[in-house]
Amino acid sequence: MAINWFKYSAPSTFYGLAGRLVPWFAWPAALLFCIGLYVGFFVAPSDVVQGEAYRIIFIHVPASILSMFIYLIMAGYAALGLIFNTRLSAMMATALAPTGALFALISLWTGALWGKPMWGAWWVWDARLTSELILLFLYLGFIALQASIDDPRRADRAGALLAIVGSVNVPIIYFSVKWWNTLHQGSTIKFTGTSMHIAMQQAMFTMLLACWLYVIAVSLVRVRSIILERERNNQWVTELAEVKR
């Protein structure tokens, strides 16, 4: 079957495709958030050690996982843009950065509110927490660097270098609980199995999926605006129905 994948790497075709895809991600995301929260609060039992406080896990873990994944995807797109000089991949990297920063912030915020009742401290300079804070700064640095360069193609290249170099931080966050003695607990879900109650797992994975779909929907809307801005002098933009109106 011959599918022309490169067809959708052109901003003009991707713009329309992205617009059609948004509702298919946004509505399932909203639905899964509701299901995940219902299972997390009404089906999943209390934790033996942490009582009710553990319920922060259903947002803390998905937000943390995504803050790292989004960074790798952003760096991947940035690298593609740098190597092949494709316009769309650089725009995708720019579109992902604010959402990634937001999830890093949610991860730190919910972590602080979980740390206080469990450890007795909002914040500790522990390996896991500090490396996640650096991740937030990397996102903010990427956004600020791109915003400070007027020429979009140069901004893409400078941002791409920062994103690629900064990606070394992601494995550091992930392995920090193994490499150093930290206050942060290790992973409960391992490749070898888990001690977690089935309803807790269901709630956490439903929330993770909901967050994924949310990220895709929001980034697609954002990248469409970026495409319009950057391609504003092209014929196809001026011929769009929403512009002609």
Residues within the interface to another protein (CB under 8 A)? 37, 41, 46, 51-53, 55-56, 59-60, 63, 98-99, 102, 105-106, 109-110, 113-114, 116-117, 214, 218, 221-222, 224-225, 228-229, 232, 237-238, 242-245
Residue 87 or 224 with smaller CB distance to another protein: 224
Residue 83 or 243 with smaller CB distance to another protein: 243
Shortest approach of another protein to residue 63 CB, angstroms? 7
Shortest approach of another protein to residue 133 CB, angstroms? 17
Count the Cβ atoms, other than its own, within 10 Å of residue 150: 7
Cβ neighbors of 10 (< 8 A, separation 6 or more) are: 88
125 CB-side CA count, 13 A? 0
Identify how many contiguous H helices and E strands the chain contains and give both numbers. 9, 2
Residue 53 or 134 with smaller CB distance to another protein: 53
Residue 37 or 143 with smaller CB distance to another protein: 37
Cα distances (angstroms) measured from residue 44 to each of 54, 64, 88, 144, 220: 11, 21, 42, 41, 33
57 — phi, psi (to 5°)?
-55, -35
Q: What is the total residue count of the chain?
A: 245
Shortest approach of another protein to residue 55 CB, angstroms? 6
Tokens of 167: 């990606």
Residue 74 or 82 with smaller CB distance to another protein: 74
Distance CA(203)–CA(63), nearest Å, equals 14
Shortest approach of another protein to residue 43 CB, angstroms? 13
Shortest approach of another protein to residue 188 CB, angstroms? 18
